[in-house]
Chains A and B, each alone.
Chain A
């Protein structure tokens, strides 16, 4: 594992911790898209089916379990916690995420490493992760004002993707036979979706003003 990959994983972990912190400290999930959170929970459940079949490292296994548990806990909290669920911006979170699900699954059936149950679900999880942030970005754009923790949550998610790209570039030059086009192309698409957000995040950071997205 190289430093970029590790930094990416830590950014991913940090984003989840920031989100948990926001929900617990403020007892509110305003500005957070339940649809995006549901998609992420599904991404991890579909991808880590290999927990039962392949062992890579203790690090990998622990991280997989952390991602599964934390993402399902966030969804549970937003849906079931008496206080938290009242702050959910349901009327703003209207992105039709079932289309993303259907399209990702159809693509996974067509483009995969191997036509097996596990590989199809792996490809599905990669495609779904690439677009899972869309409901969240749409929700932020609709609400206009973004609170600090929500802004940081999306920032760390984007940073995680950026480090994964550096990791792939590094692996491409240091490893023989490094070719994983499905993950790399999907990863590029996923990172590109954050470009707009990063631009406004940078502007607000530079001017030391509250993050505001244009309508």
Chain B
């Protein structure tokens, strides 16, 4: 979750 682009999908 620390990944900034975690929700990078639509």
Please report A residues at the B interface, Cβ cutoff 8 Å: 5, 9, 12, 50, 54, 56, 60, 63-64, 67, 113-114, 122, 164, 167, 177, 180, 183
Contacts and interface: CB of A to CB of B under 8 A. Distances in A.
A126 to B, nearest CB: 10
* Interface SS, A side: helix
Q: Is the interface of B mostly helix, strand, loop or mixed?
A: loop
Q: When A and B form their complex, which 3 residue pairs have the shortest distance between CB atoms, in order from nearest?
A: A113-B1, A56-B8, A63-B10
A48 B10 CA distance: 9
Interface residues of B, number: 9
Contact of B10 (A12, A113, A122, A180): A12
Contacts of A64: 10
A58 B4 CA distance: 16
A209 B4 CA distance: 49
Nearest to A12: B10
Contacts of B9: 5, 164, 167, 183
A177 B3 CA distance: 10
23 contacts: A5-B9, A9-B10, A12-B10, A50-B7, A54-B4, A54-B7, A56-B5, A56-B7, A56-B8, A60-B8, A60-B10, A63-B10, A64-B10, A67-B10, A113-B1, A113-B6, A114-B1, A122-B7, A164-B9, A167-B9, A177-B3, A180-B6, A183-B9
Contacts of B8: 56, 60
Contacts of A63: 10
Nearest to A59: B10
Contacts of A164: 9
A183 B9 CA distance: 10
A53 to B, nearest CB: 10
